[in-house]
Amino acid sequence: QARNPGEVEFHQAVDEVFESLGPVMERHPEYVEAAVLERLCEPERQIIFRVPWTDDSGHVQINRGFRVEYNSALGPYKGGLRFHPSVYLGIVKFLGFEQIFKNALTGMPIGGGKGGSDFDPRGRSDAEVMRFCQSFMTELYRHIGEYTDVPAGDIGVGGREIGYLFGQYKRITNRYESGVLTGKGLGWGGSLVRPEATGYGTVLFANEMAKTRGGSFDGKRVIVSGSGNVAIYAMQKAQQLGAVVLACSDSDGYVVDEAGIDIELVRQIKEVERGRLKEYAERRGSAVYVAGGSVWDVDAEVALPCATQNELGEAAAVRLVNAGVKVVAEGANMPCTPEAVTVFQKAGVLFAPGKAANAGGVATSALEMQQNASRDSWTFEHTEQRLTEIMVGIHDRCAETAELYGQPGNYVLGANVAGFVKVAEAMLAQGLV
Ligand code: NDP
């Protein structure tokens, strides 16, 4: 902590993984000798840069840009860019650290990295977002590449931003290097199922957990936090599996819709009009909007936190358990506080940590890279089939590892240990670098 003062989210993410690793280090003294844990506390490379741009009224704005190239034992650094005013080094490092193990769990050849900026896209015009993205890439381009570091989207970075970033990369380098970014548009190197992948994958993972107890999504009441990329497609897959999605949220409040959330309407408001969720209730008679409230106040059997870190604390977890929640799967990164996770685990709730449950997004990014490398594009059905196999594979790997270490059903332990061992083995083989 003394080396990284004030980086609370980073400390939290490291603690959460290291807490699982005691029995692994006992079985593998070679990891201790090679200082694998110490090395994992230090990213391979951290880049911080100025992003100057001009707003629509002609004023100069200065933001801070980040790219943390965390670990390349398994492949080129891979992980999203986040544009949100809360972004600082501690957030980027926590996300990059999580990404290492998540990417390892997918079984694909990708290392871990993350980046972003404290730029707030909310209320900005398309032209402002474009100028910001161009300035951001004017520095970032020298650090990334198909074989080096492959960014993607995250909070505040979707198809529009990836388009502007890719355009600037191409212009500066004079290379049509499709594999340098993922999350691209379908007509220019993107992959079908990439927009859906994180949300779909989260529900597929939760469904696999439910199956271990003979359960399913059919007829279940589901609540979801957020109404962005991950939330929208988690809701869609839950509905496809027969669930009733009762509620979702944004950073101002939540909506409850007893008739089931109309996903097309959420998408229209949030993705097309870039409006607020409040407008959903104004347009749909069966819905009620609660300003400033917590979506975790709604009773449900399945809860899917898909917004942001530390959005579900101990009190909300206790409330959900008392209301009969049976399955919780993290679509977002680290949305449940450690205290909330303990509440769920003690109550016997099936709990899926983000690094396992939301790995479908990065896995499908890796499928996008495969398609780019072979200059091919796969059908929706084929790509979704691959995603499903990958999620079932991650689920089984986590479940088997938890059992191997004497804690069946503990997906937190399973994910941390399985991801870690894969990375540690590669780090040992590659020597002290
Ligand atoms: P989006 O920007 O598309 O959506 C984010 C949603 O979360 C919005 O509804 C937003 O509300 C809400 N939100 C964001 N910050 C806060 C906050 N501080 N408090 C309350 N609500 C907030 O992002 P994504 O859906 O892509 O990402 C959501 C989560 O999923 C993140 O944790 C991300 O790291 C994780 N993730 C994303 C992947 C992907 O493929 N996109 C892959 C793996 C993980 P508002 O509209 O009001 O801002």
pLDDT of residue 235: 98
Helices within 323-375 (DSSP H only): 338-346, 354-357, 360-373
Q: Ligand 1 pocket test: pick from 129, 150, 155 the residue with the most ligand atoms within 8 Å of its Cβ.
A: 155
pLDDT of residue 2: 81
Query: What secondary structure letter does DSSP report for 241?
Result: T
Burial class (CB in 10 A: 0-12, 13-18, 19+), 425: middle
Query: Which CATH homologous superfamily contains domain 8-183?
Result: Leucine Dehydrogenase, chain A, domain 1 (3.40.50.10860)
For residues 403 and 395, is the Cβ–Cβ distance under 8 A?
no
Q: Check if 96 has its Cβ closer than 6 Å to any atom of ligand 1.
A: no
83: β partners = 117
Atom of ligand 1 nearest to the CA of 307: 7
Q: Where are the domains positioned within the chain? A: 8-183, 195-352
- Please tell me the distance between residue 308's alpha carbon and the centre of ligand 1 in angstroms: 5
The catalytic position among 114, 184, 237, 355 is 114
Query: Which CATH homologous superfamily contains domain 195-352?
Result: NAD(P)-binding Rossmann-like Domain (3.40.50.720)
Per-residue pLDDT tens digits for 170-229:
999 999 999 999 999 999 999 999 999 999 999 999 999 999 999 999 999 999 999 999
Question: For residue 153, what are the contacts with CB-CB under 8 A and spacing of at least 6?
Answer: 80, 81, 159, 161, 162, 183, 229
pTM above 0.90, yes or no: yes
Task: Find tokens 């990417």 and name the residue.
Answer: 103
Q: Check if 207 has its Cβ closer than 6 Å to any atom of ligand 1.
A: no
pLDDT of residue 354: 98
Q: Check if 364 has its Cβ closer than 6 Å to any atom of ligand 1.
A: no
Query: One fold for both 8-183 and 195-352?
Result: yes
Q: What would the two tokens of residue 315 be?
A: 């009190």
Q: What would the two tokens of residue 366 be?
A: 């890796």
Among 69, 61, 58, 68, CA closest to 85: 61
114 is a catalytic site residue: yes
Per-residue pLDDT tens digits for 309-343:
999 999 999 999 999 999 999 999 999 999 999 99
Q: What would the two tokens of residue 125 be?
A: 């015009």
* Mean pLDDT of successive 10-residue stretches along the chain, which has 433 residues: 91 97 96 97 98 98 98 98 98 98 98 98 97 98 98 97 98 97 97 98 98 98 98 98 98 97 97 95 96 97 98 98 98 98 98 98 98 97 98 98 97 98 98 93
- Please tell me the distance between residue 213's alpha carbon and the centre of ligand 1 in angstroms: 30
pLDDT of residue 83: 98
pLDDT of residue 129: 98
Task: Give per-residue burial for 159-169: e unless 16+ CB within 10 Å, then b.
Answer: bbbbbbbbebb
